[in-house]
Structure 1
Amino acid sequence: MSLRYIPVSSEEARRLRQGGSDAYGNAPERHISDGDGVPCRHCLGYVDAGEPYLIFAFRPFASLQPYAETGPVFMHAEECPMHDGASLPQILNSRANYLLRGYSEDERIVYGSGDVVDREEVEARAKALLARPDVASVHVRSTKYNCYQCRIVSA
């Protein structure tokens, strides 16, 4: 099974960079990166020290329902290339561990699918979850702050 890593879309990135409101109706905040762990949710890489970035509330769900979590994420303030979706994102290649959780087609958490895994286990765990008929996508979150990283689907 091949995996596809889904970042914030270029259309959404452009809208937010132009001052569009976030999931809470606020304009994104602009900051300068210190180069220490500022992961961009569009290119799925990191914002280098001295570069501007945005902080905004993001809800990676189309529907408004109890499982549609919202939280803070970062993104380059200036244009960056959208992640190609095919390769393991740079932001999932740190020494951290990650929370992976399966979601159904109707964007509901699939109970029993949540697991904390080391970086080396992300792809294998995502493949195992996506092999289940009740899991349509897998969300990856940081375990330290519970921040959304990206969504994984079968390619």
Structure 2
Amino acid sequence: MTDTTEAAEGTDTLTRLEQEGEIAADYLEGLLDIADLDGDIDMDVEGERALVSIISDAHTRDLQKLVGHDGEVLEALQELTRLAVHRETGDRSRLMLDIAGHRARKREELTELGTKAVEEAKSAGEPVKLRPMTPFERKVVHDAVAAEGLRSESEGEEPNRCVVVLP
């Protein structure tokens, strides 16, 4: 593949992800209007994924309703938003939704959890099995473990699938 072809594919991917973000933003703005909630929509592209965030300085407590207990409502809204994008584009979306910084905070906590599990696995010389997690949570922990130089794997069936850190 030539550099020109790779650059064109990169531009096509970026354009597609930006389009996903625009469609998601329109969908979420409509949802905020229906729910009579204030929030600003922020869009970005990270790697192979469109990132859309709903943020608000004044009404963060109101936005917590859209996060729900341990992010359950957020997960459902992300799936609905992905479906809205799929309906418009015909393509499956890997879009990531964050509301009121919930995922960003969760990512920090999970990275710390992964780092502690690595330390425990190294000191004990035995695998460390963590609590059941969502796919998003497991991905963050796997990335943290890899960054620390160890391997991890997922085991079990949803919704009880968990990460095991290997020494």
Q: Give TM-score scaled by structure 1 length.
A: 0.29
Higher Rg of the two aligned structures: 2
Higher strand share: 1
Q: Give TM-score scaled by structure 2 length.
A: 0.27
The higher relative CO (CA closer than 8 Å, separation ≥ 6) is in: 1
